[in-house]
């Protein structure tokens, strides 16, 4: 695994070291997990945006009235 150097605020590094010490976990593993979680969250946000964009493209605002009529009619037929 390649090594990476970066700067952290002293308070952040102290907190990471304390967590590592109390959990008997290497500092590098805590930082790696934090970065991985950040990337997952960022990817999920991007995926949500892509889904919403596809929905917006699939249904133009002018089609909302027709869609509403169709849904209302379908609901009425259920009775």
For the segment 24-51, what is each residue's pLDDT rounded down to a tens digit? 999 999 999 999 998 888 888 888 888 8
CA distances (Å), 74 to each of 60, 65, 70, 71, 77, in order? 20, 14, 6, 5, 5
pLDDT tens sequence across 44-66: 888 888 888 887 777 666 677 77
The answer on pLDDT for 67 being more than 80 is no
The rounded Cα 19 to chain-centroid distance in angstroms is 25
Confidence band of 14 (pLDDT split at 50, 70, 90): very high
């Amino acid at each position: 695994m390649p090594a990476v150097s970066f700067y952290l605020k002293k308070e952040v590094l102290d907190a990471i070291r304390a967590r590592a010490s109390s959990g008997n976990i290497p500092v590098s593993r805590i930082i790696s997990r934090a970065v991985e979680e950040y990337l997952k969250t960022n990817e999920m946000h991007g995926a949500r945006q892509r889904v919403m964009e596809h929905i917006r493209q699939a249904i133009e605002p002018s089609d909302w009235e027709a869609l509403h009529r169709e849904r209302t009619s379908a609901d009425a037929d259920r009775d």
